[in-house]
Amino acid sequence: MIRPYLGWLRIAMFCMVVVSIMTGAQAYVVKPVIDDIFVNKKQEMLLLVPLALFGIFLIKGVCYYGYTFLLAKVGQSVIRDMRNRIFEHIHSLPLSFFQKTPTGEIISRVIADITLVQGAVSHVLVGVLKDLCTAAVLLGVIFYMNWKLAVITFVLLPFMVYPIVLFGRKHRRNSTSIQETIALVSNLLFETVTGTRIVKAFCMEKYESRRFAVMVEKLFATILRDERIHCLAHPLMEVLGGIGFGLVIWYGGSEVLHGEATPGTFFSFLVALGMAYEPIKGFSSVNNTLQQGIAASLRVFSVLDITADVADKEGAGSLPPIREKIELQDVRFRYDDGTEVLKGLTLTVQVGEILAIVGPSGGGKSTLVNLIPRFADVSGGSIAIDGHDLRDVTLHSLRSQIGMVTQQTILFNDTIRNNIAYGLDDCPEEKIVAAAQAAHALDFIRQLPEGFDTVIGESGARLSGGERQRISIARALLKDAPILILDEATSSLDTESEHEVQKALENLMQDRTTFVIAHRLSTIRNADRIIVIQDGNIVEEGTHESLLPLKGVYSMLYNMQFTKVTAVV
Q: Which residues of 33-61 are buried (b: 16+ CB within 10 A; e: fewer)?
A: bbbbbeeeeeeebeeebeeeeeebeebbe
Find out whether 222 and 174 touch, Cβ atoms under 8 Å. Answer: yes
Residue closer to ligand ATP, measured from CB, 43 or 361? 361
For residue 128, the partner it binds in Mg ion, ligand ATP, none, with Cβ less than 5 to 8 A by kind, is none
Using the rule CB under 5 A, which residue among 175, 181, 284, 366 binds Mg ion?
366
Judged by CB under 5 A, the stretch of 4-12, 25-33, 70-78, 364-372 that binds Mg ion is: 364-372
For residue 43, the partner it binds in ligand ATP, Mg ion, none, with Cβ less than 5 to 8 A by kind, is none
For residue 367, the partner it binds in ligand ATP, Mg ion, none, with Cβ less than 5 to 8 A by kind, is ligand ATP
292 touching Mg ion, by CB under 5 A: no
Residue closer to ligand ATP, measured from CB, 376 or 473? 376
Residue closer to Mg ion, measured from CB, 99 or 196? 99
Bridge partners for 531 per DSSP: 357, 541
Alpha-carbon distance of 4 to 8, in angstroms, equals: 9
For residue 337, the partner it binds in ligand ATP, Mg ion, none, with Cβ less than 5 to 8 A by kind, is ligand ATP
Closest separation between CB of residue 376 and ligand ATP, Å? 9
Residue nearest to Mg ion (CB): 366
Closest separation between CB of residue 341 and ligand ATP, Å? 4
Closest separation between CB of residue 15 and ligand ATP, Å? 54
For residue 335, the partner it binds in ligand ATP, Mg ion, none, with Cβ less than 5 to 8 A by kind, is ligand ATP
Find out whether 92 and 311 touch, Cβ atoms under 8 Å. Answer: yes
- Window 199 to 218, contacts with Mg ion (CB under 5 A): none
Alpha-carbon distance of 529 to 18, in angstroms, equals: 80
Closest separation between CB of residue 366 and Mg ion, Å? 3
Alpha-carbon distance of 366 to 371, in angstroms, equals: 9
Residue closer to Mg ion, measured from CB, 127 or 373? 373
Closest separation between CB of residue 313 and Mg ion, Å? 29
Closest separation between CB of residue 561 and ligand ATP, Å? 14
Phi, psi of 510, deg, nearest 5: -45, -60
Tell me how many residues contact Mg ion (CB under 5 A). 2
Nearest to 34, CA basis, from 282, 369, 252, 270: 270
Cα–chain center distance at 340: 31
Which residues bind to ligand ATP, rule: CB under 6 A? 99, 335, 337, 341, 361-367, 407
Closest separation between CB of residue 282 and Mg ion, Å? 59
254-263's contacts with Cβ under 8 Å and 24+ in sequence apart are: 255/146, 255/148, 255/149, 261/146, 262/31, 262/34, 262/35, 262/39, 263/34, 263/35, 263/38, 263/39
Which residues make Cβ contacts (< 8 Å) with residue 11, sequence separation at least 6? Answer: 66, 70
Q: Which helix (H) or strand (E) holds 431?
A: helix 429-438
Residue closer to Mg ion, measured from CB, 86 or 404? 404
Which residues make Cβ contacts (< 8 Å) with residue 292, sequence separation at least 6? Answer: 116, 119, 120, 171, 172, 175
Residue closer to ligand ATP, measured from CB, 146 or 409? 409
Residue closer to Mg ion, measured from CB, 365 or 399? 365
Closest separation between CB of residue 531 and ligand ATP, Å? 12
For residue 107, the partner it binds in Mg ion, ligand ATP, none, with Cβ less than 5 to 8 A by kind, is none
Alpha-carbon distance of 101 to 555, in angstroms, equals: 41
Closest separation between CB of residue 360 and ligand ATP, Å? 7
Indicate the SS3 state at residue 402.
strand
For residue 168, the partner it binds in ligand ATP, Mg ion, none, with Cβ less than 5 to 8 A by kind, is none
Residue closer to Mg ion, measured from CB, 252 or 363? 363
Q: Which helix (H) or strand (E) holds 514?
A: strand 513-517
Closest separation between CB of residue 459 and Mg ion, Å? 18
167-170's contacts with Cβ under 8 Å and 24+ in sequence apart are: 167/229, 167/230, 167/232, 167/233, 167/284, 167/287, 167/288, 168/284, 168/287, 168/288, 168/290, 168/291, 169/291, 170/226, 170/229
Q: Which helix (H) or strand (E) holds 403?
A: strand 402-405
Indicate the SS3 state at residue 513.
strand
Residue closer to ligand ATP, measured from CB, 44 or 337? 337
Residue closer to ligand ATP, measured from CB, 337 or 425? 337
- Window 390 to 419, contacts with Mg ion (CB under 5 A): 407
Phi, psi of 30, deg, nearest 5: -55, -35
For residue 341, the partner it binds in ligand ATP, Mg ion, none, with Cβ less than 5 to 8 A by kind, is ligand ATP
Closest separation between CB of residue 195 and ligand ATP, Å? 19
Find out whether 27 and 141 touch, Cβ atoms under 8 Å. Answer: yes
Binding site for Mg ion (CB under 5 A): 366, 407
